[in-house]
Amino acid sequence: MTAVTTARPEAPALPPAKPLFSYRRHWAHRFGTAPFLPMTRAEMDALGWDACDIILITGDAYVDHPSFGMAIVGRLLEAQGFRVGILSQPDWQSAEPFKELGRPELFFGVTGGNMDSMVNRYTSDRRLRHNDAYTPGGEGGKRPDRSVIVYAQRCREAFSDATIVVGGIEASLRRIAHYDYWSDKVRRSILVDSKADVLIYGNAERAVVEVAHRLAKAKGSADEAVAALDDIRGLALMKRSVPEGWIELHADDVTDSDEGARMTRDGRTVIRLPSYEQVSADSETYARASRVLHRESNPGNARPLVQKHGDRELWVTPPPIPLTTEEMDRVYELPYARGPHPVYGDAKIPAWEMIRFSVTIMRGCFGGCTFCSITEHEGRIIQNRSESSVLKEIEQIRDKTPGFTGVISDIGGPTANMYRMACKDPKIEASCRRLSCVYPGICPNLNTSHDALISLYQKARELPGIKKVHVASGVRYDLAVTSPKYVKELVTHHVGGYLKIAPEHVEDGPLSKMMKPGVGAYERFRQLFDDAAKKAGKEYFLIPYFIAAHPGTTDEDMLQLALWLKKNKYRADQVQTFLPSPMALATAMYHSGKNPLKAVRRGGSEEVETVRGLKQRRLHKAFLRYHDPENWPLLREALKTMGRAELIGPGKHQLVPAHQPIGTGGGGGEGKRTGKKHGFQTFTTKGLPMVKRKPGAKVARRDG
C-alpha cells in the first residue's frame, strides 16, 4: 500500500505510514516509566512531574493491561517520551474533577471506554442496565450517556484553551452524521456535538502518536496547529471549506468503477457525502451515504470524505495503515502493570476478571457482518502478533498474574481463527472494495491456511506450567471447515466443554442481510466438531448464537428458526435482539428500509423488511425461546394470525402446547418451572451463567 501524491502543493497528500517507534522521543522521556500512569496530583508529584503533556479521560476503570484501550494509548505515548495522566470515570456533574491533573501541555484525549456508552448503559429494548463490567464492583451509572460529548464539554469548561482529541469506539462509530437508535434520529458527527478539535477513528496508535509529536513541535496558534493535521490518516476535523487542489466526487456519482478511482492516483479526489441536513431529512439518502462510507474503508484505495454540517465541512481522512507484526509486538510488550490501578483496592472489576488470563493474538475482521462494529473500527486487514510475542505474554501471565491456575481462558481476538490470514496478492488487496472476503463465499484470493494458528496453539499448550489453552468463542466456522486439522486441534485440546459460535440464523433472507453463510456451513462444522469430540473421547457442546429482529427477518423466518431449534433439541437460555449500533450497515437498513449492500438509487433501491415495533421485536425474541411457558400465549396468538395453528399442540412436530401451566404466561419473562420437578437438570459452566438442559439435549445461549 503506497501513499498517493499530488502535483499541486496546495492539496495535501497522504504520506506513507511512518514506523510507529521511529520518532525521536519527546524530552520528557527522561522521567522514565511510571509504575501506573498517574491518576492524581500526588502521583504526579511522586514522579517529579509539574504537568502532564497528555491527559486521557476514559469511561472505564483504569486497568493497565493491553485489553483496555486507554492503557495501550497511554503506555504507547509514554514510550514516545510524553508524560501521560489518566482521569478514569470522573464525576461529570461539574468541571472540577477535570482539573485534578491540571491543564495538559498538549491535549486532552477523551474516550467513552472500551464500549460505546449507550450500548454499555442500555439494552436493545432501550432499558437501563444496572451493571457495568468496566466499573469496580460492576456498579452501573458511573459514566454519563454519550460520555465522549459530556467529557469533552467538561474539559472545555475546565480549560477553555486546551486542545481536545476524541477517540475510541464511541467516537469512531460516530465520526460522520449517523443514525442514533436511542433518540431515533440522525445525529451530527460526534466531533461537532462534542466541540472537540480532532477526532481519531479506528485503531488509534499511528494517528495519536503523529498528532502528539506534531502538536509538541507546533509553532503558532493552536488552531493553526490543528488545521495542519489534515494529512494524518484515521482522523477527522472541521474545515471552513475544501482545500484548493482537491477534486470533489459526489456520492451520487460513486460507482463500482468510477472515474474518481483514476483520479485517486493523483491524490486529488475527495468524496462528498450528502450533508448532515440531507441525510437527517431523507433516510434513503442516509443509506446511500452509508454504502459509500463502507466502500471507502480499504486503506489501500480509500479517499478522503467530506460532509457538510451547517456552514462547515467535516473532513475525514482515509483509514490508517495497519500495524506491522513488529509494531504489534512492541505495542503489546510495553511495560504494562497488567492489573487495575491500586486506587481500586480489592474491588472486583468484572471485565478485568474475565480477560486477566486471556491473550490477544490479532486484530481486525474481514467477515464484514453488517450488524457488527469490529470491521468499522478495526478494519478488514488482519494485524497479527508474532508467535514468540504471544508465547512470551503467556509466560508473563503464568509468572506474574495473581491467581493463575495454569489455564489460559481465551486465545484469539475479534475472531479466533483469522490469525495470519490475508489476501494472496497485495496488489489485489490494495484495490479491492468488497465488503467481505467470505460472503457470499470465501474469496479465491484469500489465504485460509490455519497452519500458523495450529502451530501457535501447539506451542502455547506445551509451555511449562500451562495446563490448558482455551478458545472460548469467535471461531469463524465457514473458515474452520476448510481445515479439518484445525478443528481436530481445537476440539481435542482447546475446548472446555462448550464452544460458542454464531450462525445467527438459518433462513437465507436474514442471512443475506447479515452477510453470513448459510446454515449448511454450520452443519458441516458441527459434524467435524462432533466427530473430533468423539475421537477424543470428549462430551462437548456447541453453543450457537442467534439474533432476533434483524433487518430482513420476517415472522415466518423466526418461526422456521424456532422449528429448527426444536428439531435439533436446542433451548436458548439467553438471546440477543438486534441493536442498531452507530454506522453499521444493518443500522442503515433498519433506519431506511433500503439495502445498502446494493446500489441505492431513488426509486430503484432494494427494500428491506425491518422489525421496529416493540411487540414484533418481542415476538421474534419469543420464537427463540419457544420452550419458555411465559412466551406461549404470545406465540399461540402469532401462530393463529400467521395461519399456522397446526403448530399448537403436544406433538413433537408442534412448537407450543395448547395448555398453559398455572402461574405462567407473563409474555416474555423467565419461566416459573425449575429443577427436577419438570425433568430438567441445572448446571453451571466456567464463565457462563446457569443453563437449564434436558438430559441429552444440546444447549444454546447468547449473552445480552
Residues 626-650: pLDDT tens digits? 999 999 999 999 999 999 999 999 9
According to the model, what pLDDT value does residue 257 have?
A: 52
Q: Is residue 535 pLDDT above 80, yes or no?
A: yes
Q: Is residue 333 pLDDT above 90, yes or no?
A: yes
According to the model, what pLDDT value does residue 11 have?
A: 38
Q: For residue 509, which amino acid is it?
A: G
Mean pLDDT score of the chain, rounded to an integer?
90
Neighbours of 329 (CB within 10 A): 18
- Pick the closest to residue 229 from 14, 5, 55 (CA basis): 14
- Distances in whole angstroms, Cα of residue 39 to Cα of each of 61, 86, 157: 11, 5, 20
**Straight-line distance from the first to the last Cα atom of the chain, in angstroms, rounded to the nearest whole number:** 39
According to the model, what pLDDT value does residue 471 have?
A: 95
Counting Cα atoms < 13 Å in the Cβ hemisphere of 55 gives 29
If you write DSSP's letter for every residue of 627-686 in order, what string do you get? T-GGGHHHHHHHHHHTT-GGGBSSSTT-SB-SS--TT---SSS--S--GGGGT-EEEEET
According to the model, what pLDDT value does residue 266 have?
A: 53
Segment 80-106, tens digit of pLDDT: 999 999 999 999 999 999 999 999 999
**Whole-number Å distance between alpha carbons of 367 and 313:** 32
**Whole-number Å distance between alpha carbons of 26 and 6:** 31
According to the model, what pLDDT value does residue 572 have?
A: 82
Domain boundaries along the sequence of the chain: 27-237, 357-548, 566-577+598-704
Q: Is residue 59 pLDDT above 80, yes or no?
A: yes
According to the model, what pLDDT value does residue 668 have?
A: 43
**Whole-number Å distance between alpha carbons of 321 and 1:** 8
Q: 548 has which bridge partners?
A: 577
According to the model, what pLDDT value does residue 127 have?
A: 93
Mean pLDDT within 287-308: 96
Segment 241-273, tens digit of pLDDT: 999 999 999 987 776 554 444 444 456 899 999
- Give 702 or 309, the one with higher predicted confidence: 309
The residues, ordered by sequence, that sit 6+ positions from 45 with a Cβ below 8 Å of its Cβ are: none
Segment 336-353, tens digit of pLDDT: 999 999 999 999 999 999
Mean pLDDT within 124-136: 94
According to the model, what pLDDT value does residue 375 have?
A: 86
**Whole-number Å distance between alpha carbons of 94 and 92:** 5
Mean pLDDT within 654-658: 96
If you write DSSP's letter for every residue of 549-601 in order, what string do you get? S-TT--HHHHHHHHHHHHHTTEEESS-EE----TT-HHHHHHHHSB-TTS---
According to the model, what pLDDT value does residue 15 have?
A: 57
* DSSP label at residue 162: -
* 3-state DSSP helix/strand/coil % of the chain, to nearest 5: 35, 15, 50
Q: Is residue 667 pLDDT above 70, yes or no?
A: no
Could you tell me the pTM of the whole model? 0.91
Segment 427-475, tens digit of pLDDT: 999 999 999 999 999 999 999 999 999 999 999 999 999 999 999 889 9
Task: Give phi and psi for 277, each to the nearest 5.
Answer: -65, -35
- Give 17 or 657, the one with higher predicted confidence: 657
Q: Is residue 683 pLDDT above 60, yes or no?
A: no
pLDDT over 90, % of the chain:
84
According to the model, what pLDDT value does residue 397 have?
A: 97
Element (H, E) at 181: none
pLDDT over 70, % of the chain:
90
**Whole-number Å distance between alpha carbons of 320 and 1:** 11
Q: Is residue 680 pLDDT above 50, yes or no?
A: no
